[in-house]
Amino acid sequence: MLTYIARRLLIIVPMAIGISFLIYLALDLSPGDAVTRMLNPVQTVDPERIEELRRALGLDAPLVVRYWIWFSGVLQGNFGRTLTGGVPISRILMERLPATLELSVVALVLSSIFGAILGTVSALKRGSATDNILTVAGMIGVSIPEFFFGLVAILVFAINLGWLPVGGRLLPSYTTYWDHIPNLVMPALVLSIMMTAGVMRYARSAMLDTLSKEFIKTARSKGLPEWRVNLLHGFRVALTPVVVLIGFRLPILIGGSVIVEQVFQWPGLGHLFVLSVRNKDLPTVMTIALLSVILVLVVSLIIDVLTAIIDPRVRLGGE
């Protein structure tokens, strides 16, 4: 297994380079650049001034040169500065990452726990009122967009009841970390609801599929207690696809949830990513994208390893 992990880790490097270059290329091919986004479309500016700004920002260099300048900086731990505001990207990451992490970690943990439990209960109670209620709730959860849940939550809990803040993360009057927890509640719960619904539906179908397998019947025929059959034999195997689903949601730890961040004015990386794409601020977009790419690749490796641990039938790298 260690050889397999080492091999996969080595592959991540060229893959990250290749994918990041493709992203850079795609962004570069889209019309306009950061300078055009800084200008008012109906304010005519001296073209020489514009070209001078383009040169000063290094946007006049060929694509490959610009990519290399950015990438070689990253290799030295220097993510560069934003084009529009000249702000060190590492500083922005440090400012925004905590906001994104606390929102997405809470949502991931809550949705993974509740989604897996509720999905399993739903499968075990198949055809019952509990199953029907959970199935309908799951359908509603995955069908209704996040922004709708968010707006309803704001209307009820912030505007009508006044229990929670309408949005934002911090205030000048907050002096301790715990002061802003009320601000976190609504966005984290809204994000959790959506994710819980997905995990629950996945867990239910995986559990149903597992419970119909021969080895479950064998376990029952051995006279094992039903809870032991369900949890130790069924749930363990059913967890495999659920872990894959949860794993591939981990990139939101970096990318954030754009819609929830927008609705709740949450100053996370998702919000910043959209703003940077709109501004064609390539160094910022590329840094967030690269971190997401690396996370996806690493998570993919972790999922493979976890799957092998959870499901005894899986063997890594032909072992």
Partner 1 sequence: MRIFKAAAVALLLQTGISSVVQAQALNGNPLSDVRVRQAIAYAIDRNLITESVFAGFAVPADGLLPNGPFKSPNLDKYAYDPEKAKALLAEAGWDSSRALNMVYYYDDQITADLMAVLQAQLAEVGITLTYNLIVGDVAKTLNSIPEDPKGKSVVTWDMAYGARAAMVMQEYFNDYATGKASADGFPGSPELDALIADSNTATDPEVAKATLMKIDEYINANVLTLPLYYQQLQSVESNRLDRHGEPYGNDQFNYDWNVHNWTVTPDADGKAILYTNGAPLDYFEQPWVNLGLWAGNKFIWAHMLGSKPFLDGITGGDLAESYEMSDDGLTLTFTMRDGTKWHDGEPITVDDVTKSLIFSLKTPNLHGVIASVFNSIEGAAEYVAGTAETVSGITSDGNKVTIKFTKPNANTLIAFTQWGPFPMKYFEGVDPTLVQQAEFWQKPIGSGPFKVEEAKFGDFSSFVPFDDYYEGKPKIDQIIAWASSDGDVNMVKNASAHRIDFAVTKVVSDIEAIKALDFMRMTPLDIPYTRMVWFNQYDK
The residue among 212, 196, 217, 209 whose CA lies nearest residue 240 is 209
Please state the closest distance from residue 103 (CB atom) to partner 1, in A.
13
Please state the closest distance from residue 97 (CB atom) to partner 1, in A.
12
Residue in the structure block whose two tokens are 């051995």? 222
Q: What is the SS3 assignment for 43?
A: coil
Nearer to partner 1, 5 or 50 (CB): 50
Nearer to partner 1, 46 or 214 (CB): 46
Q: State the residues that interact with partner 1 by CB under 8 A.
A: 30-33, 36, 38-47, 49-50, 52-53, 56-57, 81-87, 92, 95-96, 151, 154, 158-159, 165-172, 262, 265, 267, 271-272, 275
Please state the closest distance from residue 188 (CB atom) to partner 1, in A.
16
Please state the closest distance from residue 77 (CB atom) to partner 1, in A.
20
Give me the DSSP letters along 128-143: SHHHHHHHHHHHHHHH
Nearer to partner 1, 151 or 314 (CB): 151
Nearer to partner 1, 17 or 166 (CB): 166
Nearer to partner 1, 76 or 160 (CB): 160
Please state the closest distance from residue 163 (CB atom) to partner 1, in A.
11
Q: Which residues pair with 81 in a beta bridge?
A: 88
Write the single-letter amino acid at 200. M
Please list the helix, strand and coil fractions of the chain in percent, rounded to the nearest 5, in that order.
75, 0, 25
Contact 255, 214 (CB under 8 A): no
Length of the chain: 319
Nearer to partner 1, 44 or 76 (CB): 44
Please state the closest distance from residue 184 (CB atom) to partner 1, in A.
13
**CA distances for 299 relative to 16, 21, 122, 220, 233, angstroms:** 13, 21, 28, 35, 25
d(CA 235, CA 30): 47
